[in-house]
Every structure is written in C-alpha cells, then in structure tokens.
Structure 1
Amino acid sequence: MIESTNQQILVHPCYFPSIATFAALVQEDVIWEANDNFQKQTYRNRCYICTDKGKHMLNIPIKHVGGAEGRQKYTDVELDNTYNWKKIHWRTLETAYRTSPFFEFYEDDIRPLYEGNDDSLFEYNLKTIQTIADCLGIEFPTEKTSRYEPEPGNYFDARFLVEAKKETPLKMEPYTQVFGERHGFIPNLSVLDLLFNEGPNTLSYLKSQSLDFLDV
C-alpha cells in the first residue's frame, strides 16, 4: 500500500470512474495520464451500474480508426454521436436509480452531461469526474502528463485501475443499494451508484476506503 505522501499517483480519466478509482482520487494527489494509446474493453469508455437485472454496463461508442493509421492516442479518440448513446444512458440511469434516496438531489447536476454535443472521449470523461467532484465539494485535479512513461519514476503507477477485465482486489464496506435485496451487494460499481444511494455520505465513504488494492 502506498503511503500518503507528496508523491502523485498516475491515473487514467475514466467514464464516471469506479468507487476504487474515486477513493484513490479523494485520498491522494492525482495526475492524469494523457499520453497513452487507447485500448479497447477498459473503463475509458465504459462504467458499471446496477439495474433491476443486476450489474449493467454503460458503454460509450467511439469512432474507430483502422488500416494504416493503426493505434490512436486516448486524447485523440472521438465519440461516435451517430448513435444516440447519451439518451439511452440517461434513460438507463433514470430507470435504475429513480427510487434511490438521492437521485433527485443530484439529477440536475448529472443530466447536463447527457445533453448537447461532445467530441473528445478524454475531455468528456474529465467532465464526468469534475461533476462528481463538484457534487462532493472537493478539488478537481487538473494536472496531466506531458509524455508517456512505461515505468514512471516520479509517480505511483495506478493506471491498472482502468482495466475493466481485471477485477481490482479490494475489501469494500457494503452500503444499501437499490436492488440489494434482489442481487446482494455489488462492490466497486461506478461512483454514480454510491452517490445516488449514499448522497452526502459519499465523501466520508470514499475517505474511509482502504487503498491496499494499490499495492498490486
């Protein structure tokens, strides 16, 4: 486990990040990785919530480059707005969390993210994080990397948190979820699940979470 020092932790900006990622953001000094290549099947363009059917993925469609262009930088990835994903995501959130204790309290903060046009996935993700930070009344980290380092020397490398296929090992205190009686407690969903269910207690919950998982 890292100690709380002046050393920054290196993190990818994700779409409404997981509770583990947001706990790290709340407890430590974060710098955003802004010079890596985009990779599929990560939290860069997806998050998980809980619906009446259980754990559910919200996936943002992106414009894919192919052929000779090959890989593209994460910061160059554009959203595919030919598919009305914003409307579908918001409707899904409404259906899943309308009966949660604090959905109505925060919906006016969250809804604007599902209106209007956005082009950059990287910048859109930062907007989702800043919105949550504003809801929690915490400072939003703005520093970004200036170059890509496979093995960063000046930061604690927490970029593994972006990997959706790799479950982050963590002990998470259960909180009441909308469909908890049906599905049991589902840990480490998007921070939205925590916010809509716990409201003003969200920040205290995030501060109380152990960051032992950063030791992997």
Structure 2
Amino acid sequence: MTSNNLKVVISQPMYFPWIGMFQQLHLADAFVFLDDVQLARGFYNRVQIKTDSGSKWLSVPVKRLSRSQLIMSSEIDYTKNWKKNHEQLLAHNLKQSPYYSDAIEVFREVAKENHQSLAELTIASMRAVARYWGMDNNVEYYKASDLACSKGSGSEKILNICKGVGASTYITGHGAKNYLEHEKFDDKGITVEYMNYNTTPYSQNFGLFTPYVTSLDTIANLGSSVGTHLHSKTTNWLDFINE
C-alpha cells in the first residue's frame, strides 16, 4: 500500500488484547503484525479477565523450544485443555453481561480452528474482534515475516518496516519511548505519534472499571457500539517525551 498520508501501526500479535490495541487500529491505515521477533514474557499469549475473585489470566500454553524462539515459530501446546478452560472462565464471569452471546461467539469463531502457531491464533483473535467492531474493512494487514524490509532490530527494524510499506506516520504505544531513535524517522519524512489513550468507562462486572482486560469483556458489555468509547488521539513524539 502506498499513500501520501499512510498511518501505520506495528505491534506483536496478542491474544484478544485490551481495547487500547483497537484504539490504535482505529486510527491506522495499515497494521503490521510483528511476528518475526523474540517471544518474550508479556501479553502475546495471555490476557486478563475480571472475575469475582480479582483479575485472572487467560493463557495460551506454548511449547518452549529455546529462549530465543520467535513468535512466528512458537507452537501452541495442545496437551493442555486451554480452550475449554478459557470458555468456562468467560462464561462464568461474563454471562450476566448484556452482549455475552456476541463475545462468546467471537471467541468460538477463533477457538474452533486448531491453529498450530501462536502467531496464527493471536492474529486470528485480533482480526475477529476488529471484524465484529467493523474496523477490518479499511485497514491493510501485513505480517512482518512476509516483508523483505523487516530487517535489523529495535528502532532500525521499525523504521525499515515503515519505509517498506510507505508510511508517512508511525503510531505507537508508550513503550517505544525507551528505544525509538525519533530523529531518524524525521530524517526519512516519517512522523512518530504516540497514543493518547482515552477510553470512556463502561459498566463492568466486579467493581471499578478497568480498560486493561480482554477485548471480549468490552464486547460482552458494549456489543457493537464500541465506537462511542473510542476517543483516543495521538501526540507528536517531541511533545510526548517532553511532557
């Protein structure tokens, strides 16, 4: 895809991630799944759900072959009945929510496929949520492992991908502040914008609102009307790091 004003988001694929990831997607013209990087401990194979006894993890077990294995080559461990456990947790904790049936249908749409790789599963989960919310039609998707430009590491890798897909703007979360070489993006005519997350609280089960839970919680409580809760904008990198 090429454009005079192409906004791109680059992120590791995650398992039914929090609404903030879809706020990024909502602002993007292109989304690159960064699947050719190391599988580190984080949210790539797990996400939190609110329960009556506090937050719990929905975790996808992964076969650990080496410490340096990549997301794209990480296989799911099917010796554990994680799909059944996840569905039971979702049912127990979201069944009283008004759009629970929609949420569990989105989950089942993904779970019915026996994805062998973690990347396949997590990409499928993100795209299923995006489709449900009507965000999937105007975004072009890439996998970094399919892009010849995805070379190097850290800031260099991100810049190479941005150049390769023809981005004019790179939209990112706050963690990139610690490693991006912003001036090099400026030198290539690519604007770096940081997310300014702004999510209108909605009614949730089990106490005070938190956005840092699975997007299936958001679907269960808001249904398809999520657009009224997506108010996030972006801040130029210079303003962001000087805040």
Q: Same fold (TM over 0.5)?
A: yes
Q: 2:13: which partner in 1?
A: 13
Equivalent of 1:197, from 212, 221, 227? 221
Matched ranges for 1:202-213 at <5 A: 202-206=226-230, 208-211=231-234
Q: 1:34: which partner in 2?
A: 35
Q: Is the 8 A contact 1:11 1:161 kept in 2?
A: no
Q: Is the 8 A contact 1:49 1:58 kept in 2?
A: yes
Question: After TM superposition, where is structure 1 displaced by more than 6 Å over at least 4 residues in a row?
Answer: 159-162
Q: 2:143: which partner in 1?
A: 144
Equivalent of 2:97, from 86, 100, 118? 100
Counterparts of 2:236 and 2:89, CA distance in 1:
30
Structure 1 residue 213 displacement after superposition: 11
Letter in 2 for 1:144: K
Structure 1 residue 203 displacement after superposition: 3.0
Counterparts of 1:26 and 1:157, CA distance in 2:
11
Counterparts of 1:100 and 1:116, CA distance in 2:
26
SS of 1:143's equivalent? Answer: strand
Structure 1 residue 172 displacement after superposition: 3.2
The 3 A distance-change label for structure 1 pair 138 and 6 is same
Q: Is the 8 A contact 2:61 2:80 kept in 1?
A: yes
Letter in 2 for 1:133: A
Q: Higher RCO, 1 or 2 (CA under 8 Å, sep at least 6)?
A: 1
TM-score normalized by the length of structure 1 = 0.81
Runs of 5+ consecutive residues of structure 2 not aligned to the other structure: 177-194
Q: 1:87: which partner in 2?
A: 84
The 3 A distance-change label for structure 1 pair 6 and 213 is closer
Letter in 2 for 1:175: Y
Q: 1:165: which partner in 2?
A: none
Of stretches 98-107 and 122-131 in structure 1, the one that deviates more from structure 2 is 98-107
Q: 2:172: which partner in 1?
A: 158
The 3 A distance-change label for structure 1 pair 72 and 160 is farther
Counterparts of 1:174 and 1:50, CA distance in 2:
15
SS of 1:83's equivalent? Answer: coil
Sequence identity, in percent?
24
SS of 1:184's equivalent? Answer: coil
SS of 2:48's equivalent? Answer: strand
Structure 1 residue 65 displacement after superposition: 0.9
Q: 2:59: which partner in 1?
A: 59
Q: Is the 8 A contact 1:169 1:213 kept in 2?
A: no
SS of 2:141's equivalent? Answer: coil
SS of 1:56's equivalent? Answer: strand
SS of 2:200's equivalent? Answer: coil
Letter in 1 for 2:45: N
Counterparts of 2:236 and 2:202, CA distance in 1:
19
After superposition, give the CA deviation of every residue in 1:174-203 in whole Å (9 maximum; x if it has no partner): 111022xxx211222221111110112113
Counterparts of 1:192 and 1:112, CA distance in 2:
12
- How many residues are matched? 199
